[in-house]
Structure 1
């Protein structure tokens, strides 16, 4: 495969004709990408001219493009020039297909899957969206349904309030909403995706307690702006964006989904407008941008790309990352594309599927490297290291010092939490142990009504004697799992193992009828637990704490009610409610 690159300049027509002469476009697939500077006031006129020329000189070759900034050509950032690339595939089995969708109200997944069923050897999916969360959500959901061996990559087109982001394909219309998808397939086609962050997390994790879309209102129940004012002394005002850009957030949704978001502005109520959505329930940590660390991360990713030996690289560089580097904004692009054919653009978000999840990244670089056939070794590059520890500024050393202390404290805190959990929970059932549930009962707020349900397994000794102690333990765990999944997940209800096969449950701020109904329902459900091949039943007692009695008297009464249920035939509730 070959990657041809040019800008829209006075020699554009001769250049395109030269491309046509050098390539066989009759038996081979090809695709044209156009990256258009979004601030150019005459951009639509230029694009019309470019596409007209391309359609004449390279007829039948699909065209896709978008608004951009910091267009990348020949492995370097260019400014305010339309970049045009032609990718030509040598292997006749390699095919390229373009799909475009512009209606926000329509689900295009079925159309997409009907098409890919007819495409053998699908290797990659490129996604480019105009600035629409709706379209990205639809495209990413569709992409996540693809097999794991298919690489997914792309970006969000660039724009602002005065110059709307746009995308376009062969229809020659410029769409400010929508998405285009490029499907790459072929037996000999190989695609590798990489992403580069390099931001270092600092401080303790904070929980996102209130957010809506890309507006975060609260972290740990406090105004989100406090994280910048309290820890970093970053003031509200016109410089907030640039000051906060050096301290983006690492957002952790779960163990496998982590990405970067940066703050754009602060609202009067202390909420923060972020670069892209931040989900409620996720955890965030502040990060800082140490140029040495970022470059080290980029060099490592660049080596992975070189090891892949690509014939062409598309680079999706974050606009915010470009701003972070300032006058050195070309440094990472040059590092990634050393002696390799690379083009692309700076975007408002970089798309890549990672561990089965298509993620919209910020402040990152995403690359899509392609080659046909077996890899050919690239020329060796002598590395000149400028990363010596002596070059580390004192601010970076202080950040390392603070971060190391924080991580050590977090580790100790996690160890302490683990010890406290083990001290308060029963090892077999993972319910509260006798001491913890008893403390909870004695500390209950007596200004509200509260109830106790005590229950135990009927004929538990017979289960142990007949089926063995392992099966007895299994019976206890099955009942405990049911309690955790169906009952104590509700607010105001706690349960613990009282001893042996006996359990106790405390329910606060409920009616007598609620307690009695749920106790009876629990007895019925235990009779039908899955994984039990013998008769398993429980007996239970239920009572309400009276205002004029001690907690011990309530516990004694519920214990008596339990044994009354057992003496009356078992598998039943005895209650004074």
Structure 2
């Protein structure tokens, strides 16, 4: 494999580039040629002419391209340029696929894309798939659903979202003669000797407490966080107003979430009049998010570590897809995270609105991330890999150092506050003596079961009361009584683990919640606990028994009716002589 790239002022300069005789010689010697344009501006009407020019000189070439918010050429970040990349493959096969994809069509287009990839007849295995999509206008994460399930984890999927220098500007992707303002372009790489590795890096860190996404209008439109308008959260904590600088300010503080073991960032792109935020990528109700902040040292260190891994792979060409928010945040230090690529292999890339990365079920649309892709044909060279220059030391300018220290300070303060909140929450929902849930928490859990449980599924409860508990206290003292309560709680905790919840209801009374449990199963469950208590040595108190009242929910009834029946069953057990289970 051979990769060559050229820095052009515009697409119109491609003529001089194509007349380079060296390009023709390389194309003649190689089996496949991929020509990619990373362009600051593309006139849709010029795309057919651009394709004609390239194929006139390189007849077998596959041509694709994407609009950018910044370009990367041989480790240097640039603005308002066009980078053209020629990738020549000796043995690999390339397949170009492209589709119109309007909002609402994402899953069907993703299914069609996956079908077309899998039906291609080739003896060569797939080694990687590159995706370009118009992520500003569609839910690009929806494209990935079929790919995640059907393509498997044996090769990486990578790529980027079309971007523009103006947040509301024109962004597009193109393939061959066709341009798309709403669309997706895929290049499938196949070859027995072809090897592809892709690596991501983030570097952003949590800044705020965790907040729950409580309402969305679509996967890319968040209405409320913790029940308040999403934009007001940014106003409250960061003072970001809805003005002409909104987008650039928000880029420095993306949201972060964890999903399926991966850490994902989500960049707010627009603020709606109702206080909702439009994101570049998907979030869902119930997910927890945090506002994040970029620690410049950690951002550069993450990029440096990624480059070291890539250098060990010894690629013959490197493609770099980096989020636009990294460009805005690092500003004059931008080259610090890209310069290392020039020490690895010929490299080119651009700044994006969303980055595709992953394998199989881990495939996701990222934000605030830099993805680097290395390719090579053949075995690893015997030549040692070139050392990547450590860029981290260059970050230690006074302004960068101040940002890093402030970010660390805020992060530690937030961590301490969250630990204090966790401890306070534990105190608020736990019985201080027995360590199991208190009445308040059990009320909350039962309310959740009734409000959100699947209709028609039974929920059983067990009320139990320690027999003759006052006599234990009067005879042996309250310390002995406390030990009886703690030992009882320990028995209950053991039995309900994985099946339900146990809590102290008050005094010597306990409550068990058994979701999805029939009355017969709940009665048998209570009987096992009764037998164990009867057979347990309670120390100074010796033999201790309990009475049990069991009942099961009836569809449509109120919680108080359920408790009324359990209470009646418990008192029936008491009146019948104690140390028994009664089912209402």
Residues 343 and 44 (structure 1), Cα distance of their counterparts in 2 relative to 1, 3 Å cut: same
* 1:77-92 alignment runs, 5 A limit: 77-90=77-90, 92=91
Residues 135 and 528 (structure 1), Cα distance of their counterparts in 2 relative to 1, 3 Å cut: farther
The residue aligned with 2:95 is 97
Per-residue deviation, 1:327: 4.8
> For 1:274-309, what per-residue CA distance to the aligned partner results, in whole angstroms no more than 9, with x for missing partners?
333332212222222233332222222222222222
> For 1:486-508, what per-residue CA distance to the aligned partner results, in whole angstroms no more than 9, with x for missing partners?
xxxxxxxx865889xx974689x
- Does the aligned pair in 1 maintain the 2:75–2:335 contact within 8 Å? no
In structure 1, list runs of 5 or more residues that go unmatched.
446-450, 457-472, 485-493, 508-517, 533-537
Per-residue deviation, 1:17: 4.7
Per-residue deviation, 1:209: 1.4
The residue aligned with 1:167 is 173
CA distance in 2, matches of 1:150, 1:386: 35
> For 1:228-285, what per-residue CA distance to the aligned partner results, in whole angstroms no more than 9, with x for missing partners?
222223333222323333222222345x132122333433433333333332212222
* 1:402-421 alignment runs, 5 A limit: 402-414=410-422, 417=425
CA distance in 1, matches of 2:86, 2:216: 43
Residues 236 and 23 (structure 1), Cα distance of their counterparts in 2 relative to 1, 3 Å cut: closer
User: The residue matched to 1:227 in structure 2 has which SS?
Assistant: helix
The residue aligned with 2:569 is 558
- Does the aligned pair in 1 maintain the 2:27–2:58 contact within 8 Å? no
User: The residue matched to 2:52 in structure 1 has which SS?
Assistant: helix
* TM-score, normalization by structure 2: 0.72
* 1:104-503 alignment runs, 5 A limit: 104=105, 105-106=108-109, 107-108=111-112, 111-112=115-116, 114-115=118-119, 118=122, 120-131=124-135, 132-134=137-139, 136-159=141-164, 163-170=169-176, 172-213=177-218, 214-253=220-259, 256-338=261-343, 340-353=345-358, 356-372=361-377, 373-375=379-381, 376-380=383-387, 383=390, 385-388=393-396, 393-414=401-422, 417=425, 423=431, 436-437=438-439, 454=462, 481-482=498-499, 484=500, 496=503
The residue aligned with 2:470 is none
User: The residue matched to 2:349 in structure 1 has which SS?
Assistant: strand
The residue aligned with 2:532 is none
- Does the aligned pair in 2 maintain the 1:70–1:77 contact within 8 Å? yes
* 1:502-513 alignment runs, 5 A limit: 504=511
Per-residue deviation, 1:392: 5.2
Of 360-369 and 325-334, the range deviating more from structure 2: 325-334
User: The residue matched to 1:335 in structure 2 has which SS?
Assistant: helix
CA distance in 2, matches of 1:314, 1:495: 55
CA distance in 2, matches of 1:12, 1:378: 35
User: The residue matched to 2:94 in structure 1 has which SS?
Assistant: strand
- Does the aligned pair in 2 maintain the 1:543–1:557 contact within 8 Å? no
From 37, 40, 52, the counterpart of 1:37:
40
Residues 474 and 150 (structure 1), Cα distance of their counterparts in 2 relative to 1, 3 Å cut: farther
- Does the aligned pair in 2 maintain the 1:299–1:336 contact within 8 Å? no
- Does the aligned pair in 1 maintain the 2:33–2:89 contact within 8 Å? yes
- Does the aligned pair in 2 maintain the 1:125–1:183 contact within 8 Å? yes
CA distance in 2, matches of 1:522, 1:543: 7
Of 382-391 and 176-185, the range deviating more from structure 2: 382-391
User: The residue matched to 2:394 in structure 1 has which SS?
Assistant: coil
Q: Which has the higher helix share?
A: 2
CA distance in 2, matches of 1:230, 1:285: 14
CA distance in 1, matches of 2:119, 2:29: 23
> For 1:302-352, what per-residue CA distance to the aligned partner results, in whole angstroms no more than 9, with x for missing partners?
222222221111111222322333455444332333352111222211111
Residues 565 and 152 (structure 1), Cα distance of their counterparts in 2 relative to 1, 3 Å cut: farther
CA distance in 1, matches of 2:433, 2:118: 52
CA distance in 1, matches of 2:173, 2:492: 60
Residues 178 and 573 (structure 1), Cα distance of their counterparts in 2 relative to 1, 3 Å cut: same
Per-residue deviation, 1:88: 0.9
CA distance in 1, matches of 2:30, 2:246: 54
CA distance in 1, matches of 2:577, 2:59: 87
The residue aligned with 2:534 is none
Per-residue deviation, 1:475: 12
- Does the aligned pair in 1 maintain the 2:461–2:566 contact within 8 Å? no
CA distance in 2, matches of 1:32, 1:390: 43
Number of equivalenced pairs: 502
User: Aligned pair 1:70/2:70, yes or no?
Assistant: yes
Per-residue deviation, 1:381: 5.2
CA distance in 2, matches of 1:179, 1:391: 41
CA distance in 2, matches of 1:321, 1:55: 35
> For 1:40-99, what per-residue CA distance to the aligned partner results, in whole angstroms no more than 9, with x for missing partners?
5xx345433331122121112222222223233333334444432211123x2x222222
Residues 165 and 540 (structure 1), Cα distance of their counterparts in 2 relative to 1, 3 Å cut: same
- Does the aligned pair in 2 maintain the 1:543–1:558 contact within 8 Å? no
Residues 2 and 219 (structure 1), Cα distance of their counterparts in 2 relative to 1, 3 Å cut: same
CA distance in 2, matches of 1:110, 1:391: 48
- Does the aligned pair in 1 maintain the 2:38–2:349 contact within 8 Å? yes
- Does the aligned pair in 1 maintain the 2:462–2:550 contact within 8 Å? yes
